[in-house]
A and B are shown apart, each in its own frame.
Chain A
Amino acid sequence: MKRTFLYCGLAASLLTACNKEFIDRPSLSGTTTGNYYNNAEEVRGATSTLYSGLPWRNYESRAQDAIGDVMSGNMFTYTDVEYLNFTLSSASERIGAAWGAFYKIIGYSNVMIKTFEEKKAAGGGAAYLDPAIAECHFIRGTVYFYIARTWGHAPIITDPGETALSGNFNIPRYLQSDVLRFALEELKLAEAGLPESDVPGRLTKYSAKGMLSKLYLYQKDYANAKAKAEEVMNSGKYNLVSDYNGMFTKSSMNNNEECLFSIQHQLSGDPWGTGNLKNPDRGAANLRTAEADAWEMYVPSLDLLKEYEFGDLRRKWSVMEHGWTNPNWKPQRVNAPKYNAFMANGFKYDTLVSADEGGNLNATRSNIAKYFAGPGKSFGSDAVLGQNSGNNVVLLRYADILLIYAEATLAGAASTTDAKALAALNKVRARAGLSPRTSFTIDDILHERRVEFAFEGDYWYDIQRQGFAKAKAMIQKQNRGTATGANYITTFTEDKMYLPIPAGEIIQDPELAKDPVPYYK
């Protein structure tokens, strides 16, 4: 009897042990985190994905436009009207898209950080793992910076695997100041771990310093903002490019000397979000060809057109208006003799001739030139494949650093005549063909930022960081209408300063509907 028990016990222990070992068996055939990521090339292949449209596309395509430029009064649209009129609600499409994209990018970075840390603990080489981890910290910090600016208080996730396995999705919103602090600490880790230089487009120490200077500026920590911007300026690695428009429309100018951080795009059939999808949303209808879609979903606002100073070259580099030409572009269409004749000697933007003759007359009598690569290779422009072009989307560039430096030197004062600050500001103005300023105020900076970064998804955050009272004044004075009817916002309320959280997220995580809590105890 005793013996039987013993055998039973032995058999049972064998069974369970066997079970366990079976489960722990490493994969013999597949590529796994266990048998991969053993050299720089493999590790950098993973972080390369973080720069791609794959996780970014639902933000950069349309949400960036709706939130950054429609809401700020730079763009007019018939599609994302709720951003024009501030009637967005949690069912608005771009809100869910941006939320999903941002947290997806964070998910990618989180898992990479954890995996690479584990590889390091298991004896992997710090020489190739540490810079990759630093890239992930930059991405994670930058995206939390976006989240803190877009939603204010927001959840912070650092280990999605653990969160998913726990099944506990009661994750609170953390105070905006803590989300910003989290982002700041991430960027500091990036600054410490990223290399001095790398191949074009890859993040370096200076990308992190630049993003840090911007974040410090938002925190009104002017001393640090100025110091970080100055480190970027003193590095001598960056400069303003002379071909401003080319920076957004020529893929040969991807990762030029002005760019600190861009989403990388390549022209292909777009199986993985590799193409830039802004082309059709911005392209004037009279530039639509068999190669390039163009449906002008977003056009410049009348208010932005009014913002350009006389002689500002950025106007024609950013906007197509009556008389705008590009002699290299010769779009042609099947069975459209009048159109073809009109375009035969080069593209002309004409609001007086009819559409079938090649003209274009839209709500604001203008179209966006930035990020519109052209009508396609056969018609004299960069190659375009349907909706895809190969232009990077620039998220941080040197002009920003110069203007951050200027603003951080102003440091909340009424105006300044600081020579270095003026030099930085005037460098940006000089490229645009404008005369130098001899002193400047915060409104001069905001004006400069608005035209310099128009249609780059940034101006909403510039308005918002002025605080509710000033933001309200800025918005209510904008004409958000069309050439045939003005439209002014008369009741901008404080709850519009941040976007609502998608309703579906609140159902799955009811804590999101409650008051925010501190992240740092």
Chain B
Amino acid sequence: MAKVVNHLKLRVGYGAVGNQNFPGGAPNPAYVGAVQFFSGPVGFGTSNMINGIPNPNLKWESVKTTNVGLDIGFLNGRIDATIDAYKKVTSDMIIFLTGPNLIGVGDQWDDLKAPLGNAGQMTNTGVDLGITSTNIRNDNFTWKTNAVLTQFTNTYDKAASAASALDGKVYYNNYLVTHTTPGRPVGSFWGLVTDGLFRNQSDLDNSLPQFGYKVNQNETWLGDIRFKDINGDKKIDAGDMTFIGSPLPKFTWGLTNSFTYKGIDLSIFLQGSQGAKAFNFLRWQLEGLNSAWSNQMRTVNDRYTESNPNGSLPRFTVTNKNNIAMSDRYVEDASYARIQNITLGYRLPTAFLSKIKVSNLRIYGSVQNLKTFTRYSGYDPEIGAFNNSIKLMNVDMGHYPNPRTFTLGANLQF
């Protein structure tokens, strides 16, 4: 046994920390009504506004973490592995207590800020696995591998009150794209479920009224999106909007292989994420097919027309506004694998260097973000949270993609 396993450590931990980080744009302190002044003229000139509703009952957010970890070393350090399992319960989360726009306060720049409050509880449960192994090691050649795998689930356990949920909106706060009710992962995409297009007369004859539309060329017509009647009331409306995907990945991974052969070193870092969905709101605009005045992507060539009745995208229409309703039309698989970094280096032989009075010279070239393998149609599947809001994770509003970087360099020591 000792020959195989030569290092074994079990770690068990429990911790509770308080957190008073406010979301962006929050008035601070939050327990008084802040007055905001404008840098430019507003109204009759010098104006101000009350920017924030005090919440004297605001308290700390608390994060309780339980974790179990195991470190194992095998074969004289040739293989090291760590496994961590954790459960992190965040309760009394500090967020803006926003609701429907009709309540009149919110979290947008021009909103009178909603009160900050302790809204509910969420749980993250996960496992992190890391393995480092030295596969080959001899005088001229070494090969090391490092692999990490992270898996976690997130659940919004309970909301501030029975009636409230976490809601994320975009485009001047006009469109709701995430709606997290207790039991779902935070940032759950919400919308209609599409069921293809109306492609022939019998489709239209059997159609349900969609947001009150009748069957005619200006309203529901050939080439329009058919939505599913989720609640079975024989009509399509806001009541048929439902969960259409989670922005959270099933797992993420990273893999680094490094090789050295005499003076040459090579490292390859691959990285990826599996199972996350993205709400590609850019396509709402660029494939909207609802205005002759907005630029569209080349993909709209495959829209439904009389001569292209099998087109994958709906018809162009300026009168039917249902085709741009929030739906799974814009939800995509954002899984990806990426060649994150390749570095190739060469250390010049010391025999040569000593002649020119240099103790060490290494020249190298590296490529960052060389290639991404994904089915995601946007610029970059690594989207993050819009405006750093947990309510808008993986909502693609047109973020700046990761650049590809080429580096050539030399390390020189005298």
A interface residues, Cβ below 8 angstroms from B: 23-24, 26-27, 30-34, 36-37, 42, 44-46, 48-52, 54-55, 58, 78-79, 81-82, 85, 87-93, 96-97, 99-100, 103-104, 106-108, 110-112, 115, 155, 157, 160-161, 163-171, 199, 201-202, 264, 266, 268-274, 495, 500, 502-510, 512-513
Contact = CB atoms under 8 A, between A and B. Distances in A.
Given A48-B43, A104-B104, A507-B238, A164 B98 contact: yes
Contact of A168 (B161, B213, B237, B324): B161
B174 interface: yes
A163 B45 CA distance: 32
Contact of B53 (A23, A106, A161): A161
Chain B interface size, as a band, is 35 or more
Contacts of A24: 31, 56
Interface in B30-54: 31-35, 37-50, 53-54
Contacts of A48: 42-47
* B contacts with A: majority SS: loop
Contacts of B153: none
A85 B98 CA distance: 35
B211 A164 contact: no
A99 B238 contact: no
Given A27-B29, A50-B43, A169-B164, A164 B99 contact: yes
A108 B112 contact: yes
B50 to A, nearest CB: 5
Contacts of A33: 32-35, 50, 54
A78 B292 contact: yes
27 contacts: A31-B34, A32-B33, A46-B49, A51-B44, A79-B318, A87-B213, A89-B210, A89-B211, A89-B321, A91-B326, A100-B172, A103-B101, A108-B50, A115-B50, A167-B97, A167-B99, A169-B100, A266-B41, A268-B40, A272-B42, A503-B176, A504-B100, A504-B176, A506-B238, A507-B176, A507-B238, A509-B100
A54 B110 contact: yes
Contacts of A103: 101-104
Given A46-B49, A164-B105, A507-B190, A274 B41 contact: yes
A45 B112 contact: no
B212 interface: yes
B98 to A, nearest CB: 7
A505 B176 CA distance: 8
B53 to A, nearest CB: 4
A78 B293 contact: yes
B319 interface: yes
Contacts of A264: 43-44
A32 B112 contact: no
A157 B56 contact: no
The 6 closest A-B pairs by CB, nearest first: A107-B104, A504-B176, A167-B161, A48-B43, A33-B33, A96-B174
A273 B159 CA distance: 35
B110 A165 contact: no
A52 B102 contact: no
Given A100-B101, A163-B99, A269-B40, A52 B47 contact: yes
A32 B173 contact: no
Contacts, number: 271
B55 interface: yes
B32 A34 contact: yes
B110 A87 contact: no
B156 to A, nearest CB: 14
Nearest to A161: B53
B163 interface: yes
A111 B52 CA distance: 9
Interface in B87-132: 97-106, 110-112, 114-115, 117, 119
Given A96-B174, A504-B175, 12 more contacts: A27-B29, A42-B48, A55-B110, A88-B321, A106-B104, A163-B103, A165-B97, A165-B117, A167-B162, A169-B164, A274-B40, A506-B237
B265 interface: no
B120 to A, nearest CB: 9
A36 B50 CA distance: 10
Nearest to B160: A167
Contact of B102 (A26, A92, A171): A171
Contacts of A90: 211, 237-238, 325
Contact of B42 (A52, A164, A512): A52
Contacts of A87: 213, 218-219, 319-321
A97 B47 contact: no
B50 A46 contact: yes
A432 to B, nearest CB: 31
A26 B211 CA distance: 50
B161 A31 contact: no
